[in-house]
Amino acid sequence: MIARLRKLYTFSPGVHVLSIGPHQIKQPTILAPMAGVTDRPFRQLCRNLGAGLVVSEMVTSDTRLWNTRKSKLRLNHTGESEPRSVQIAGGDPEMMATAARMNADQGAQIIDINMGCPAKKVCKKAAGSALLKDEQLVQEILAAVVNAVDIPVTLKIRTGWSPEHRNGITIAKIAESEGIQALAVHGRTKACAYKGSVEYDTIAEIKSQLSIPVFANGDIQSPEDAKAVMNYTNADAVMIGRAAQGNPWIFQQINYFLEHNRKLPEPSNAEIKHLLIDHLNALYEFYGEFMGVRIARKHVGWYLQTQPNAKPFRKIFNQLESAETQTEQVLVFFDKLTNGKEIAA
């Protein structure tokens, strides 16, 4: 089904957009790392639907915790397209360096450092965007990681610690001076979390002062948004996060719009049905049926969030306990949708 969508939505392979070390990224759209979302099945799906680069879920720098089932799954990159980018998080330079080396040994081709996550459980450990308050520690972590590996290191940040302390430009300059090879910037501060409007002025200023690639991130929800943000900030690419949930074809749509200045048609219900079934099967295979069924629930919710009368079905779906019944019910839902029949609880 993915092949059918790619054939239907034909766009040229594009020109060389940017480089991260030896890796050429040929489409200016990047899947943001999202814990609990950008697992291997979702990364592969987004890559097949046009993402120029995909970044793994955040992995802790505390390698003592890597023996958990969750960490082992997050560290699994079997069969993924290159380059494989792995995000690490932590607040200790030595531990971050060790985690970077071990990920490189396991096949990572790009190490991405998380200094952008505003989640309390991350920040309370002096990691994620909490690090932006300590510029000296930022410098020490970046230097330690860059010197620990012979593969490119990238960084994700926010515009600053708080609206009153937007030090994103200073952090960006530190990053470039320490050898970071690409920088993603979310247009909010740590204190803003995901509330309020994104501001792109800081991203534009950072881009104007750096020579490394800069990716604009935050509330980019459509091809029109992507073009407007790239024009305003002069960013080399856009990084898409929540807008890809249940909408993985957004990368293809953005690429096409940037190249041709016209929009692709939305995928049909039949196309979405087949794509969703493929995604569910990939989840069951990757996680096993027990976990796959549970993880499938949130993805199905995202796919159906814009479908009419989907709420009763989602309630039923969330109670299903087997891969077979989940698949059957998705097929029934879309068949009713296609045939114009009422979807009842």
Query: What does the pLDDT average to over 83-97?
Result: 94
Asked whether the predicted pLDDT for residue 269 surpasses 50, the reply is yes
Asked whether the predicted pLDDT for residue 189 surpasses 90, the reply is no
Q: 32-70: per-residue pLDDT in tens?
A: 999 899 999 999 999 999 999 999 998 888 777 776 666
Q: Give the residues across from 185 on adjacent strands.
A: 157, 216
Between vectors from CA 193 to CA 190 and to CA 196, what angle results, nearest 5°? 115
166 phi/psi in degrees, rounded to 5? -85, 90
Asked whether the predicted pLDDT for residue 342 surpasses 60, the reply is no
pTM to 2 decimal places: 0.89
Residues 6+ apart with CB under 8 A from 205: 169
Specify which of 48-62, 73-87, 136-150 reaches the highest per-range mean pLDDT: 136-150
Helix (H) / strand (E) element for 323: namely helix 323-339
Buried b (16+ CB within 10 A) or exposed e, 66-95: beeeebeebbebeebeebbbbbbbbbbbeb
Asked whether the predicted pLDDT for residue 147 surpasses 50, the reply is yes
Query: What does the pLDDT average to over 88-100?
Result: 94
Residues 6+ apart with CB under 8 A from 329: 313, 316, 317, 320
Lowest mean pLDDT among 95-109, 161-175, 177-191: 161-175
Asked whether the predicted pLDDT for residue 124 surpasses 70, the reply is no
* C-alpha span between 255 and 226 (Å, rounded): 9
* C-alpha span between 84 and 106 (Å, rounded): 11
Provide the CA 344 distance to its chain's centre, in angstroms. Answer: 34
pLDDT band at 337 (very low <50, low <70, confident <90, very high): confident
* C-alpha span between 33 and 108 (Å, rounded): 14
Residues 6+ apart with CB under 8 A from 84: 56, 77, 107, 108, 109, 110
Report pLDDT for 13. Answer: 46
Share of the chain above pLDDT 90, in %: 70
Q: Look at domain 269-339 and name its CATH class.
A: mainly alpha
Cβ–Cβ under 8 Å, residues 87 and 99: no
Q: 284-306: per-residue pLDDT in tens?
A: 999 999 999 999 999 999 999 98
Query: What does the pLDDT average to over 255-281?
Result: 95
Cβ–Cβ under 8 Å, residues 1 and 281: no
> Which stretches does DSSP call E strand in the chain?
18-20, 23-25, 29-31, 53-54, 59-60, 85-89, 110-115, 153-158, 183-186, 214-217, 237-240
Q: Look at domain 12-260 and name its CATH class.
A: alpha beta
Report pLDDT for 4. Answer: 46
Provide the CA 319 distance to its chain's centre, in angstroms. Answer: 28
Q: 242-254: per-residue pLDDT in tens?
A: 999 999 999 999 9
Query: What does the pLDDT average to over 191-195?
Result: 74
> How do the domains of the chain map onto residue ranges?
12-260, 269-339
Report pLDDT for 339. Answer: 72
pLDDT band at 340 (very low <50, low <70, confident <90, very high): low
117 phi/psi in degrees, rounded to 5? -70, 125
Annotated catalytic sites, by residue? Answer: 117
Query: How confident is the prediction for the chain on average, in pLDDT?
Result: 88
pLDDT band at 129 (very low <50, low <70, confident <90, very high): confident
Token pair listed for 159: 């515009």
* C-alpha span between 166 and 92 (Å, rounded): 23
Query: What does the pLDDT average to over 201-229?
Result: 97
Query: What does the pLDDT average to over 2-7?
Result: 48
